[in-house]
Amino acid sequence: MADEARAYFDGGSAADDGSGDPLRRVAFACESLKVTTRLMHIIAWLLGQRAWQRGEIGDADLADDKYRLGRAARTDAMLAADFPFAASALIDASQELYERVARLQDRMDPMSLPAADASPARALLDRLQTAF
């Protein structure tokens, strides 16, 4: 997906966005950066996971922020709807993949797992509180 995004946004995307409006071109450029950022965060997280699985880093290292999934800005759905189909598809796919990896990280994180004696309802309320 990273190669596909790079090829799309680097090659001919300016002609594909179909508008000479400077504000639209800036919005299009910003969205290409958001897609790239999401994908690079995912790739970095996967490389950290691979290093951990190979024993190159320990459990304590994996808890460090530099090995966690970085934060990435979401795209406004109304803005993305005005872009060409190929751009919108890349934006949506990168957001979906980012959200899936974030959920996977949360499930794998031993600090986010509820204690054995904690109620499922309390665990859900705690997760909701930390999310907002």
Contact (Cβ atoms closer than 8 angstroms) between residue 79 and residue 24:
no
* Alpha-carbon distance values, 36 to 10, 61, 100 (Å): 11, 26, 16
Contact (Cβ atoms closer than 8 angstroms) between residue 40 and residue 110:
no
Residue 52: both structure tokens together: 């951990």
Q: Give me the pLDDT at residue 97, please.
A: 94
pLDDT digits (tens, 9 = 90+) for 49-105: 999 999 998 888 888 888 888 888 888 888 888 888 888 899 999 999 999 999 999
The CATH architecture assigned to 2-131 reads Orthogonal Bundle (1.10)
pTM: 0.72
In this prediction, residues 98-115 reach a mean pLDDT of 76
* Alpha-carbon distance values, 87 to 7, 8, 80 (Å): 11, 8, 8
What one-character DSSP code corresponds to residue 117?
T
Q: Give me the pLDDT at residue 114, please.
A: 44
